[in-house]
Chains A and B, each alone.
Chain A
Amino acid sequence: MRYAETGFRLEVDLTRGSIQKVPTEPSWTEMFLGGQGTAAKILWDRVGPEVQAFDPENLLIFTAGLLVGTPVPGANRTVVNTISPQTGLYAHSIFGAFFGPELKHAGYDQIVFRGKAPDLVYLWIHNDKVELRDATHLRGKGAQETARLIREELGVPEAQVAAIGLAGENRVYMATIEHSSASASRGVGAVMGDKRLKAIAVRGTQDLQLAKPEEIFRLSLDMFKAISENPFTGDIMAHEDDEEFHVDNFAWGNARKRIKGFWNKEREERWKKISESVRLRWTGCYNCPKDCHQAIKVPGHETYFQKCYSKLTYAMAAYKEIDFNYQILAKTQAYGLDGFSTPQVLAFAVELYEAGILTDEDLPGFPEDNGDRFFYLLEKIVRREGVGDALANGVYHAARQIGRGAEKYDHNTMKKFEQVPLKLKMINFPYFLMYATGEKMNITQIEGSYPQVPIADKKEREEFVKRWEAAPERFKKWYLEWEPRTHPPLEAAVHICDWNETMHYIDDAIGMCAFLSSFRGQFGGQPPYHIYNLPKFIAAAAGIELTPQELWNLARRNRNLIRAINVRRGLRRKDEKPPEDHWQIRDPEKEQKVLSDYYTFKGWTQDGIPTIGTLEKLGLADVAEDLVRRGILSEDDREPVFQDVSA
C-alpha cells in the first residue's frame, strides 16, 4: 500500500502524442521522499549533460510533493523542474494554490513531459482519462484567460489549470507558469513554451490513502489552528502597508541605488489607498488558513493575483510608485513573467539606452517616461521583436548578445541568473555561502531558518532562544553570543547555510509552503513546521518513519543529487560567487576560507564536487560511478566525507 502518494506518474511524449501511466518506484520515495527529490532522480537518470534546455530530450517535470493532497495544512506545492535555458543548469520552481492536490486526487504524483508537440496543445487529465488537446485557438492568450477558456470548453469549472502566456510561448527566459493565485518562476515557462505545451488542466475525484488517517487528522486540525494563530507565519509583509523594509533597503533601478528616506507617512497613506482601490480580496492556498495573495482588478484588465514582493519590484526598477506596479502586473501576469527577474531586465535595458549602448535605432519611438519605457520594452520582449529578442534571454545573455560594452551593466546576476536587487555594506558570511553555493538561483529559496539579524538586547535574545523549538542546539549557542553588527564564527556560517538550505530541501520534497516552514524561522523564530515536528506528519500521512536526523540526511541526499546534476553540467567552484557589488566591503580571503570549509563540511572536493565517499554514504554510489566514468571525479576522490550533524 502506498500512502500520501498515488504511486503513479504520467509520462507524456509530446512529439509522438503518447501518454503512459507508469507505476513509480517505492524505493525512490524512501530515498528522495518526492517532489523535487524524485524529479531530480529522473533528471539525473534521463537528462545527460549533453542535453540542452530546448532539446526535445529535455524533460519538464511537474511533481506534487509527498504530503500534497493529504490533510496536512499548507502542503499544497507543485514543484517544476527542468534544465534552464538561462543557466544551463537544473531549474527549480515551486507553486501553490490548488493544482497539486487536484493532480493527486486524479491519481498521479508527477507528470513528465518529453519531446515537442508539432503545434500548441494542452493536456487534460480527468482521473483515468488523459488526453492531449489542440490549443492553437489559445495562442497568444493570457495565462489567466487561458485557464478560463479551458474550463469553459471542457465544461468543468472545477478543473485546475496551469498555463503559460505569450512569454512562455515565445520562450522568453523569464517566463512563468501561472496557476490560480500562484506562479512557477525562474524560467520554467520557457521550456513549457518550447515544448508547445500551452497548459495542463486537471480534475481529480479519487481518494488518497493515508497511513494513519485519524492521527493525521488530529495533528492537522491542531496545526491548522496553530498556523492561523501564529503571527510569524504566512507572507506577513504582504499584508503590511508599511513598505519601509523593502523600499528603503532594496536597490532601485537596475539594482543600483538605495533611496533612504523615500518612505514617509504621506506615501504610506497614498499607497494604502491605491492598494485598497484595486484589491478584490485576500486569498489563500489549498488547506491553509493564511491569506497571502491579493486578487487585483485594474480597470480594463483581467483579474490577476499579486504575491510576495512583486508588489514593488516593477515600481522600484522603474523608479515609479505603486500604482504603476499594479498596472504593469496586469500585463506581466497575463503574459506570464517572473516578477523578480523581469523588472531587472527592463531596468537594465533602460540603463543601456541612457548609456547610449541601445539607441533610437534599436528602440524606435522609445518614450521619455520610465514607466512608459517599461511598457514599451515589455511588448518587445514578449514578442521577441528587435532588441527584445536579446532581452528575452535575461540580463546575462542579453548583455553579451548586445555587446558594445553592455556586459558592464550586467552586475546583479549570478550563475547567469538575476538576483534580488540588494546592495549591502558589509560582507555577511552565511549569506555569502547561501548565494555562492545555492542550486536554486534565488536567495529566497535558500535562506530562512536562522535569523537575519540578532536581537540587540541580550535578555530578549535569551527569551527568544527559550522559545526556539525549531533550532538544533548548536544554533542556540551561536545566536546567544551574536552581538549586532558582528560576524558569527565561520563555523557557524557553514552550519547556518546548511540548516537554511536543508529545510528548503525538505519542504520542496514534501510540498510544504516555505512561508510556514523553511522561510519563516528567520523572522520571529517560530515556524509552525520544523525539523522536529515534520517527521510525525510524514509518518502519519505517508507511513514513512524518520527521525529528525534521518530526515536531515534525506534532504542532504537530495541536495547532493541536485549538486551532481549541476556538476555534471559543468558547475564548479569558479562559478560560486555572488554578484561582485552585492557587498561594498568584502573579505576575499575569509570568503574563500569559509567556502572551503563549507565544501569540506559537505563532503565535497575543493572544486565543489561531492566525493565518492559522500555519495556512497548517501546511497548514491551510481552517481559517484557516473562522475568517475566522466572523469569529473577520480578514483582517489573518496574524501572528505560529509560531516554528520545532529538534528
Chain B
Amino acid sequence: MTEKCLIKTIKVDPDKCIGCRACELACSAFHAKPRYSSANPARSRIRVVFDELNDIYFPIRSVAYTPAECAGRHAYVLQGKEYPECAFCGNICPSRDYFYEPDSKLPLKCDMCESTPELEEPVCVAVCRVNALTYEVREEEVAAGEEGPDELEIGLEALADEYGLDKVLDAVARIAGKG
C-alpha cells in the first residue's frame, strides 16, 4: 500500500549562512505559547552550529528524539574543512544540549511550522534573507502508515525514559481520573 504524501524539505546551504541566528529567534517565537510570547533561541527547534574559528556556520533542525547516543560519532571533513561531531545530525540526543526545552528539559521537535492557516514556508526560511535556508515541497508516493511521532508523543517518551513508563502511565491515569 502506498499513498500520496507531501514531502517538505528545508535545504541548507551552509556557505551562505552569515550566522545571524534570525532563524533561531523566529522559530522560538512562532512556537511559543501563546504564539510570539517569547523570543528565546534556547527554545528554538533550529540551531546554528557555530565554530567561528573554523568557519563553521551550520543550521540544523531537530528531527527525532532518541534517548541514547548513537554507537560512535560521526565527524566529517568536507573540502578540507572539519565539521564538529554530529554537526549534520538533527537528532535530539543526550550527547549535546540542543533541542531541549531549557526549563522542562523536554525535547523540542521541528514541525515545519504546521499551523492553521498554513504558512507559505516555515518561519526560519522566511527570515533567512541570505537563502542559506530554502523551502521545497514535492509530492511523493510513500508506504502507507502512520505519521511520525509528534512533540507530545516524544515528550511522553522522554518522560518515560526519565521516570519509567509505569510511573508515567500512573500519572496520566491519575490526571485522567481527576478530569
Interface residues in chain A, defined as those with a beta carbon under 8 Å from any beta carbon in chain B: 69-71, 73, 98, 101, 105, 144, 148, 156-158, 180-181, 204-208, 210, 213-214, 216-217, 221, 224-225, 228, 280-289, 291, 295, 297, 302-303, 305
Chain B contacts with A in 36-87, Cβ cutoff 8 A? 36-43, 50-55, 57, 84
Is there an interface contact between A303 and B50, defined as CB atoms closer than 8 Å? no
What separation, in Å, do the CA atoms of A380 and B54 have in the docked complex? 30
Least CB distance from B55 to A in Å reads 4
Is there an interface contact between A303 and B129, defined as CB atoms closer than 8 Å? no
Is there an interface contact between B38 and A213, defined as CB atoms closer than 8 Å? yes
Does B25 count as interface, using CB distance less than 8 angstroms? Answer: yes
Of the residues B25, B55, B84, contact of A71 by C-beta under 8 Å: B25
Q: Specify which chain A residues have a CB less than 8 angstroms from the CB of B20 in the assembled complex.
A: 284-289, 291
- Taking A217-B39, A303-B52 as given, write out 11 further A-B residue pairs in contact, using a Cβ cutoff of 8 Å, ordered by the A residue number: A71-B39, A73-B22, A144-B53, A157-B50, A213-B36, A221-B127, A283-B18, A285-B20, A287-B20, A288-B22, A289-B20
Is there an interface contact between A224 and B53, defined as CB atoms closer than 8 Å? no
Interface residues in chain B, defined as those with a beta carbon under 8 Å from any beta carbon in chain A: 15, 18-22, 25-26, 29, 32, 34-43, 50-55, 57, 84, 97, 102, 126-127, 129-130
Is there an interface contact between A303 and B55, defined as CB atoms closer than 8 Å? yes
Is there an interface contact between B25 and A287, defined as CB atoms closer than 8 Å? yes
What separation, in Å, do the CA atoms of A204 and B41 have in the docked complex? 10
Is there an interface contact between B129 and A208, defined as CB atoms closer than 8 Å? no
Least CB distance from B153 to A in Å reads 24
Least CB distance from B129 to A in Å reads 4
Q: A282-B18, A284-B19 are in contact. Are A207 and B40 (CB under 8 A)?
A: yes
Is there an interface contact between A289 and B22, defined as CB atoms closer than 8 Å? yes
Q: Specify which chain A residues have a CB less than 8 angstroms from the CB of B55 in the assembled complex.
A: 280-281, 295, 297, 303
Least CB distance from B35 to A in Å reads 7
Q: A286-B21, A303-B55 are in contact. Are A217 and B38 (CB under 8 A)?
A: no
Is there an interface contact between A217 and B52, defined as CB atoms closer than 8 Å? no
Q: A224-B129, A289-B129 are in contact. Are A70 and B42 (CB under 8 A)?
A: no
**Those 8 A-B pairs whose CB atoms lie nearest each other, nearest first:** A205-B42, A205-B102, A228-B129, A284-B18, A284-B20, A289-B129, A291-B18, A280-B55
Least CB distance from A238 to B in Å reads 13
Residue of B15, B22, B50 with most partner-chain A CB within 10 A:
B22
What separation, in Å, do the CA atoms of A476 and B126 have in the docked complex? 37
What separation, in Å, do the CA atoms of A572 and B41 have in the docked complex? 47
Is there an interface contact between B29 and A217, defined as CB atoms closer than 8 Å? yes
Of the residues A71, A157, A225, contact of B29 by C-beta under 8 Å: A71
Least CB distance from B62 to A in Å reads 15
Residue of B19, B38, B97, B129 with most partner-chain A CB within 10 A:
B19
Residue of A156, A158, A282, A302 with most partner-chain B CB within 10 A:
A158
